[in-house]
A and B are shown apart, each in its own frame.
Chain A
Amino acid sequence: MIEVSHISRTYTRGDGTPVPALRDLSFTIARGEFVTIRGASGSGKSSLLNILGCLDTPTSGSYRLDGEDVSGQDDRARSHIRNRKIGFVFQSFNLLPRTTAAENVELPAVYASGEVDRGRALSILARVGLADRADHYVTELSGGEQQRVAIARALMNDPPLLLADEPTGNLDSTAGESVMRLLTELHREGRTIVLVTHDEAVAAYARRALLIRDGVLAEDRQQGGMAGGAA
């Protein structure tokens, strides 16, 4: 599913000094895996997430997503990959303001083809337990509900990869647990999930944990994982 080989990412500071964020990083993630990526701030975790999410390209090395080399693609091609292959879930939900839940869920379909299947959006909302909230404005929803709308939106184009960046960071523990339960269920349905967090409790849901430190892969550990355990 994800093949990262020898990728590096170097930023250039204002005065021209190169700052390496990722150094010669290699790993693979198979289809259907539930993986967390952990790391302190400044570890290069965000840089890796941006590359995995096709928002950024590595300075060197290659990244294959779903069998396709995406490391050298232009902006337009990467936009299409993000649209079809990756479902994003953000820490602050990133729902569009003054827009209904259903309209948010439909958004990826707008950019895919312009043909919007309202029925599909509603059934996905039902899948995340928000059938009765479809026509509510996002500001009328609780944090947990908003994040579930965001997850529904990530599923709209049926992408093979779900990329979640601190999905419980802005939620209380109850709402956080319900979101994690939902992700676990999606994993069981066969989706590949990559979750970035520094919360140990959240990381414990995954079967495999990667640790990034100083731009290199410091640890790649298989663990019990509540997701696997529950299955």
Chain B
Amino acid sequence: MQVDWSTWRHLARSCLRQIWRFRLRSFLVVFCAALGVAGAIASVNYASGGRAQVLEKIHRLGTNVLVINAEQSRAEGGRARTGAIVTTLVEPDYLALQRELEGWSRSSALVAAPLRLKAGYNSRVSPVVGVEPAFFAIKSWSVTAGDVFGNEELRRSARVALLGERVARDLYGEESPVGERLFINRVPFEVIGVLAERGQGLDATNEDQQVYVPLTTAMRRLLDVDHYGSILFEITDGGRLEATAAEMRALLRVRHRISEFRPDDFKVASQQGLIETQLAATDRLGFLVRWIGFSGLVVAGLGVLAIAWIAVRDRTTEIGTRRALGATAPDVFFQFAFEAAVLASFGAVLGLGLGWAASRFTAQLAALPFVFERANAMIALTMALLLNLVFASWPALRAARLDPIRALKHE
């Protein structure tokens, strides 16, 4: 195609004037293109915010954690044995596991029971959990007031308690409970800290409702037991989770002298299944949202197409006149494609900024972490530009192919 560049340069300049003179139409094209890009960016960022939140919850649950629960896992003698207290998970097992297992970084044994709490005139029943100090590190959980207990308190079986955020509020209201006295089953404790609010966890427990005391304190002073409810192990290599679980199982079966055909009296679980389900759900949502965003882009592109199409129809006489005055078909194509492309591109870039603002706003509104996926924004922008190029070219092609005689007669 032979092209007269100076003609096109001049056409481009006059197009820019036309854009201003037909500002309503120009605004509509820009608005359409901007909305498409902004929508695509904001919706994907919203989904990514949701994913980030799930990842954050997974992190809190403790990644690469294996839990050994003392429980009868199978029905026995025709009777379900769930709920039966299993007393076989004891300290020698724990020490043996610590000694024999490889590739673990932190561990904590747990005992838990619902007990009556009393502070002043306020009273309620809450799960009281005895843990080792490593528990809070495994769960990446910190305090908002006071401090976490350490090994010294564990050794002394100190009567100190950490309160879940909700428990603290129920018993002490808005005042800081640090240093206050708390009775657990009539045993006096000192509140040494309040744990950060966690909300509903992925495993459906609400940790804000719980009270944490040193493991030894719970076992000797409150519950008078010498067996554990469960043991947590944090594994350094996430890929060895299954293998380590198998080793634990083998070790415990030997130690508990369980014969070949008898069921375990414990259960080793990882959070992996839960995490995978959650991530799969958010990934499905992300996929859906990406499609919605893409559809939005196409719809916006169709808007650009419709407006450009109407513009060509409205300007048929102008096209005929230009052709009579010597415009070639490529000249007409260039004029219309350039005008639509400039507007749509401007709109798309504007949409980038708009998408950023909308992402911030929705993140704030939905209390999700603000995520701006740059790669996604670039893809949305590129796709919008390509789509608009196609959608701007089509009406321009129609304009160029108009028969000059018919165009001149058009009213």
Contacts and interface: CB of A to CB of B under 8 A. Distances in A.
Interface string B1-13: 0101111111100
Interface string A94-126: 111111000100011011111110000000000
A111 B6 contact: no
Contact of A50 (B5, B322, B405): B405
Interface stretch (B58-66, B266-274, B324-332): B324-332
A108 B325 contact: yes
Contacts of B6: 113-115
Nearest to A76: B328
A127 interface: no
A45 interface: no
B270 to A, nearest CB: 70
A55 interface: yes
Interface residues of A, number: 32
B331 A111 contact: yes
B7 A82 contact: no
Contact of A114 (B4, B325, B328): B4
Interface residues of B, number: 29
B326 A84 contact: yes
B408 A110 contact: no
Contacts of B318: 96-97
B14 A110 contact: yes
Contact of B324 (A55, A92, A110, A116): A55
A24 to B, nearest CB: 22
A110 to B, nearest CB: 5
Contacts of A88: 324-325
A63 interface: no
Interface in A59-110: 75-76, 79-80, 82-84, 88, 90, 92, 94-99, 103, 107-108, 110
B18 interface: yes
Interface of A: 50, 53, 55-56, 75-76, 79-80, 82-84, 88, 90, 92, 94-99, 103, 107-108, 110-116, 153, 157
Q: Lowest 9 CB-CB distances: which A-B pairs, in order?
A: A83-B326, A114-B6, A114-B7, A111-B326, A98-B21, A94-B321, A79-B328, A88-B324, A110-B10
